[in-house]
Amino acid sequence: MPTRHRCLPLWHAGAVSTSEPALDVVLAGVGPRLRALRLRKDLTLTSLSATTGISVSTLSRLESGGRKPTLELLLPIARAHGVALDELVGAPPVGDPRVRSAPIEQHGMVMWPLSNQPGGLQAYKLLVRPGEPRAEPEQKVHEGYDWLYVLSGRLRVVLGEHDLVLKRGEVAEFDTRTPHWFGAADDRPVELLALFSKQGERVHVRARPKGSA
């Protein structure tokens, strides 16, 4: 009989909550930043006007906060100063997109988390070690949906009454409420990419047994 168990604990880095500054606060900071940048470049309003084509009065009102900054005004000013537009509006820095996470070792597998977002689909790289040569696979069931892509080696997938072996470049996906098990098909380790979902979202790539329509 298939054994019911909870889904494997899927680790993810805690998302850092950051609140973006209110629009009026951002706009209020543009004027002083424009003035400070102009003075740092040792430019007068008249010389900046000649370079940008923007009138002296408009530049003065931008710096004092009397004129709302727009993209049409800020772009030529940014070009004249040789800076990025972000520097004029004080945009927050973009976070480091790299995923830095420690591997997880469990159930004869090493799992490297490849995503940081909480909930939904979770991406992993897996290294599946060979198990007992004659061990009978114990199929289990739980809520969710799994997607597996073999990078190297041969992966055995037992899904209900189906017993399949996937080679490099082959994909399998299945509803984990169906009794299932997967592991190394021989005495060599298997590398694969995996997407796990507790909510049951499907990934629209499907591998079918040979000979099926």
Per-residue pLDDT tens over the stretch 117-136: 666 678 889 999 987 655 67
Quick check: 46 pLDDT over 80? yes
Residue 81 belongs to a domain with what CATH number? 1.10.260.40
Per-residue pLDDT tens over the stretch 58-117: 999 999 988 888 888 888 898 888 888 777 776 655 556 666 677 888 878 898 888 776
What pLDDT, on the 0 to 100 scale, is given for residue 60? 92
Residue that finishes a domain, picked among 66, 89, 112 = 89
Residue that finishes a domain, picked among 41, 70, 89 = 89
Residues 110 and 179 both lie in one domain:
yes
Residues 28 and 63 both lie in one domain:
yes
Residues 78 and 142 both lie in one domain:
no
Q: What is the mean pLDDT of the chain?
A: 77
Provide the whole-model pTM. Answer: 0.49
Residues 6+ apart with CB under 8 A from 108: 128, 129, 131, 183
Domain presence at residue 136? yes
Please count the structural domains in the chain: 2
Residues 69 and 112 both lie in one domain:
no
Quick check: 151 pLDDT over 50? yes
Domain presence at residue 13? no
Cβ contact 145:125 at 8 Å: no
Residue 169 belongs to a domain with what CATH number? 2.60.120.10
Domain presence at residue 36? yes
Residues 107 and 174 both lie in one domain:
yes
Residues 116 and 68 both lie in one domain:
no
Domain presence at residue 12? no
- Residues 39, 50: Cα–Cα separation, whole Å: 16
Domain presence at residue 155? yes
Domain range for residue 78?
23-89
> Where is pLDDT greater, at 156 or 19?
156
What pLDDT, on the 0 to 100 scale, is given for residue 40? 87
